[in-house]
Chain A
Amino acid sequence: MASLKDLANRKEGLSGGHRACIGCGATIVARQIMLASPDPVVVVSATGCLEVTTTIFPYSAWNVPFLHNAFENAAATLSGVEAAYNAFMRKGKIAKKINFIAFGGDGGTYDIGFQSLSGAMERGHNLLYVCYNNEAYMNTGVQRSGATPRGANTTTEPVGKVRQGKVKFQKDLTAIIAAHNIPFVGQSIVGNWADLTRKAEKAFATPGAKFINVLQPCRLGWAYKPEETAALGRLAADTCVWPLYEVEKGILKVTFKPREKKSIMDYIKKQDRFRHLTRPENAGLVAEIQAEIDRRWELLISKDGKQLY
């Protein structure tokens, strides 16, 4: 695996001076994924914070070829780019190895872009799809998505007199994509560069369709101090709210097991989107959330080292 020093010496795919919020985790995801590629990359991004904050015409923060098409079709668009590359390879018009990366937010991945993603995975294009998952539609002002956790306050499933934010737990997209029987699927976090880099390197070294789901603390939607992005990411792993694992050729491996599993309350207290959960009358809801997180974590541990697909 590339050392931190190696990575620091590589050329950045995304330069500074873009318009993302201070402390935004999305740009960290994009930078670290691109740094992990030993070969040149071509990037397609879905509509969302990452694209909108980095490409305000006539400026661009991208040092690599970049294409944005629409909100829900990054995977399909990149399928086309990769198809063109294959055609040129076959006709001898191009010889260089290129890695193809799609970036999509959770909205553009879990919800509206799900069909396009599933199709691209099933067809087995040689590309890596990365979901920078901030658990809501941030670009349009913190609306709920299929990735929003139970109890989170969003503008389309807000906290009110009779409802306490998102009613249902989020869907497990990583597992759903793993069930496509693709060669590599990973789940990682902002704040653990080594875990993310290792997974990205594995993905780039594996031919075929790959998917990595990265939990990304978002300043606006989660509401925390800008300097805490990485620490908050690590806390998500320490509480097992966001387990780090991978499914490689069908075998599941948990890549991080906290020495001491922290309580969900530690995580909740740090973020304004969960503020209402700290009220005594919501203790029951917190217990429910804790129970579901424990259940999902234990299920995952029980599968550790096993062939799933």
Chain B
Amino acid sequence: MAVAAKTGNEAMAEAMRQINPDVVAAYPITPATEIVMIFAQFVADGLVDTEYVPVESEHSAMSACVGAASAGARVMTGTSSQGLAYMYEILPIAAALRLPIVMCEVNRAISGPINIHCDHSDTMAARDFGWIQMFSENAQEAYDNTLQAVRIAETVKLPTMATTDGFIISHCMERIETLEDDQVKDFIGEYKLTPSLLDIENPTTRGALDLQDYYFEHHVGVGEAMKGARSIIKSVAEDFNKKFGRKYDLIEGYKLEDAERVIVALGSTCGTLRAVIDELREKGAKVGLLKIRVFRPFPADEIAKALSNCRSVAVLDRVEPWSGVGSQTFVEVRSALFNLAKKPKLINYMYGLGGRDISLKELAGVYENLKKADSLQEVNYLGVGE
């Protein structure tokens, strides 16, 4: 175990060095560029023996990842925003082919207009493409999630993205604890995909034309794998905790047990919320945080259970999906609560788009509003100007 000061991007790049994947194919985009830049330096310095493919676009990056993973390689990439959007066409193909590609994704606003700062509109728009999605609260989690993503992807046989928040995590220096190289090696193990496309004695056809008679079944198969991913993600986290003493789960509660008012959030805002909750608790408020670490598969049962005894809940989402009915996490949390006999009052806050700061005061205001949630409208913006 070593202690170091690292940005989120450095933490993810360091995890990649220790993973030492067979193939990395990537294309630069702010604020994820650094991950691959640092990794390219590892390649140039001979610190990894990865076949590094500096492609001409993200579309080709994901395409090359699909090719390499089909050949049986351990494959990684990194991207953000428009880069992820440019991969959208290939993301569900990677999932349908059951390829355990691991992506370091830095959450950033989607154009337009163009904006380089953090929100979750890129990752949320990719939520239905069959990728496991993990959100990180800080650089430590970015590092830990990247390592766990390898085990998860390869066990579930689904591609997995570990995400950080653009600039907030990707570029801020934090204290993190890294593992020894051989600890990582031991934790992720050897990867072997059988059968591989390179098995010329036993040729396989992949990505075939899949018409009415089988396409449906194949899609159901991916859906079942995603459902099954829940327990695998939990057991990988348990093993990680047992070996390295850091605890993870699909969701995480902070002062949740006796909380009457709960704020649900993802990513770096959870860190800010902990401070807000501490302050409010000192004043006697029964408030807690529910952090969603894993968004796909969606931990609906766990969320329903965690929220079943509280009175009101605010779901904070760093995205405005233009759906007319609130943001993605809100909609999914609401449906998770539907079968509860006694439901808390639920409200939605969309906040922080395009890198808009969220202040302690605003978050404390959310708690104030939760006390009069019955009189509030369901879907709200937080921190938006007139």
Interface residues of A (CB under 8 A from B): 40-42, 44, 51-52, 55-58, 60, 62-70, 72-73, 75-88, 90-91, 94, 96, 98, 115-116, 118-120, 122-123
Residue contact B68 to A84, C-beta cutoff 8 Å: yes
For B198, list chain A residues within 8 Å (CB): 42, 65, 81, 84-85, 88, 94, 98
| A181 CB → nearest B CB, Å | 16
Q: Give A99 to B204 CA distance when docked, in angstroms.
A: 16
Question: Does B166 reach chain A (CB closer than 8 Å)?
Answer: no
Residue contact A115 to B56, C-beta cutoff 8 Å: yes
| B199 CB → nearest A CB, Å | 7
Question: Does B211 reach chain A (CB closer than 8 Å)?
Answer: yes
Residue contact B55 to A119, C-beta cutoff 8 Å: yes
Q: Give A56 to B214 CA distance when docked, in angstroms.
A: 10
For A68, list chain B residues within 8 Å (CB): 206-209
Residue contact A83 to B25, C-beta cutoff 8 Å: yes
Residue contact A77 to B205, C-beta cutoff 8 Å: no
For A79, list chain B residues within 8 Å (CB): 25, 53, 55, 60, 63-64, 67
For B209, list chain A residues within 8 Å (CB): 51-52, 55-57, 68
Residue contact B93 to A81, C-beta cutoff 8 Å: no
Give the contacts of B200-244 with A (CB-CB under 8 A).
200, 203-211, 213-214
Residue contact A65 to B197, C-beta cutoff 8 Å: yes
Closest chain A residue to B52, Cβ basis? A83
Q: Give A211 to B118 CA distance when docked, in angstroms.
A: 42
For A78, list chain B residues within 8 Å (CB): 67
Known A55-B208, A58-B214; contact A80-B25, beta-carbon cutoff 8 A? yes
- B69-77, B140-148, B249-257 - interface stretch: B69-77
Residue contact B22 to A84, C-beta cutoff 8 Å: yes
Partner of B66, one of A40, A55, A77: A77
What are 11 contact pairs spanning A and B, CB under 8 A? A41-B200, A64-B203, A65-B200, A68-B207, A69-B66, A81-B68, A88-B22, A90-B51, A94-B198, A120-B60, A123-B54
For A60, list chain B residues within 8 Å (CB): 205, 208
For A66, list chain B residues within 8 Å (CB): 203-206
Residue contact A67 to B60, C-beta cutoff 8 Å: no
Q: Give A58 to B209 CA distance when docked, in angstroms.
A: 9
Residue contact B64 to A87, C-beta cutoff 8 Å: no
Give the contacts of B47-102 with A (CB-CB under 8 A).
49-51, 53-57, 59-61, 63-73, 75, 89-90, 93
Known A42-B200, A55-B208; contact A80-B67, beta-carbon cutoff 8 A? yes
Known A55-B205, A76-B63, A119-B55; contact A81-B70, beta-carbon cutoff 8 A? yes
For B73, list chain A residues within 8 Å (CB): 83-84, 87-88
Question: Does B23 reach chain A (CB closer than 8 Å)?
Answer: yes
Q: Give A58 to B67 CA distance when docked, in angstroms.
A: 21
Q: Give A58 to B56 CA distance when docked, in angstroms.
A: 34
Q: Give A24 to B208 CA distance when docked, in angstroms.
A: 20
For B54, list chain A residues within 8 Å (CB): 123
In addition to A57-B210, A80-B75, A119-B57, 17 A-B residue pairs with Cβ atoms within 8 Å of each other are A42-B71, A64-B203, A65-B200, A65-B204, A66-B204, A68-B209, A70-B93, A73-B90, A76-B59, A77-B63, A78-B67, A80-B53, A81-B197, A84-B75, A85-B198, A88-B198, A115-B56
For B213, list chain A residues within 8 Å (CB): 57
Known A69-B63, A73-B60, A94-B198; contact A80-B205, beta-carbon cutoff 8 A? no
Residue contact B203 to A62, C-beta cutoff 8 Å: yes
For A96, list chain B residues within 8 Å (CB): 200
Q: Give A192 to B347 CA distance when docked, in angstroms.
A: 71
Residue contact A80 to B203, C-beta cutoff 8 Å: no
Give the contacts of B179-209 with A (CB-CB under 8 A).
197-200, 203-209
For B57, list chain A residues within 8 Å (CB): 115-116, 119
Closest chain A residue to B56, Cβ basis? A119
| A160 CB → nearest B CB, Å | 33
Q: Give A87 to B74 CA distance when docked, in angstroms.
A: 10
